[in-house]
Amino acid sequence: MDLDLAQLRAFDATVTAGTLDGAARALHVTPSAISQRLKALEAATGRVLLVRSKPVQVTGSGQSVLRLARQVALLAADATRELSPEDGDRPVTLPIALNADSMATWVLPALAPLAGELAFDLHREDQEHTAALLREGRVMAAVTAAADPVPGCSVTRLGGMRYRPMATAAFAARWLPDGVQPAALARAPVVVFDRRDDLQHGYLRSRGVDPAAPPLHHVPASADYITAVRLGFGWGMVPRQQEPPGELVELDDGGAVDVVLHWQQWRLRSPSLDRVADAVLAAARRELDQH
């Protein structure tokens, strides 16, 4: 099966933009040209690769082709920079999936020294779900809770982020005056990051409390989540890296949860991807719990 590079590029651009019109603008061609290239690629593979919705949806077969298209694009960009540095001024774009707390604390400082030479397309997702973006071919690397490698990827343990149930002293005095008793926990408001965040629910279940019982505040931004806890909206599981000094109290000495993170990336030799991996692994050794 011979696959045309222009067709792969059109496929990648369409998935990235979400529409044929967006892909046409990115590649400076007409939407008709994009459509013809996609049809030719589907004819060459004998598979339906895209559902032409808005935004387009990648089929199961399309995920394999998307991974190939992006791997080819990355290797071509690396080769261009190596062989013709004067033609390599346009930075290589690396799509990476990150959980929100890592993005808000230690990953961005790790990537900052590379930002002048590489372009980052960061996808925020819960650490339990970032591996799915790798599997779909949408990203080249991910910080993930998944220890088992995604097919075609390597995996390296990064370390742990420790979360503790915390609240303001005033909140604890009002809602949990006798400590984390099940009856009190069932009434005390909880701050939850989003509807995929199971940290608080897991803690409640461990204390014999139905997670549906207490009122929930959904605050889907990492810094704003901490602000909501600081302002007394409710209690929440706060990562060590974001604990505001002296402003919160720990509600349960035995309630800490360690979320172990891993770095997964495509198993191919790319100088650009390797530089990112080195930066992330070095930062993880400094910032995450290694025991």
What is the arithmetic mean of pLDDT over 77-88?
A: 72
pTM score, whole prediction: 0.82
Q: Return the pLDDT at 85.
A: 65
What is the arithmetic mean of pLDDT over 259-271?
A: 92
Q: In the predicted model, is pLDDT for residue 82 greater than 80? A: no
Of the listed ranges 100-104, 176-180, 204-208, 267-271, the one predicted with least confidence: 267-271
State the span(s) of the chain assigned CATH 1.10.10.10. 1-85
Q: In the predicted model, is pLDDT for residue 232 greater than 90? A: yes
Question: Could you write out the DSSP letters of every residue in the chain?
Answer: ----HHHHHHHHHHHHHSSHHHHHHHHTS-HHHHHHHHHHHHHHHTS--EE-SSS-EE-HHHHHHHHHHHHHHHHHHHHHHHH-GGG--SPEEEEEEE-HHHIIIIIHHHHGGGTTTEEEEEEE--TTTHHHHHHTTS-SEEEES--SPPTTEEEEEEEEEEEEEEE-HHHHHHH-TTSS-HHHHTTS-EEESSTT--HHHHHHHHTT--TTSS-EEE--SHHHHHHHHHTTS-BEEEEGGGPPTTT-EES-TT--EEEEEEEEEESS--HHHHHHHHHHHHHHHHHSB--
CATH number of 161-258: 3.40.190.10
The fold adopted by the segment(s) 1-85 is Arc Repressor Mutant, subunit A (1.10.10)
Q: Read off the pLDDT of residues 184-229 as tens digits, 9 standing for 90 and up.
A: 999 999 999 988 889 999 999 999 999 999 999 999 999 999 999 9
State the span(s) of the chain assigned CATH 3.40.190.10. 161-258
What is the arithmetic mean of pLDDT over 47-69?
A: 91
What is the arithmetic mean of pLDDT over 36-64?
A: 92
Of the listed ranges 120-129, 243-252, 255-264, the one predicted with least confidence: 120-129
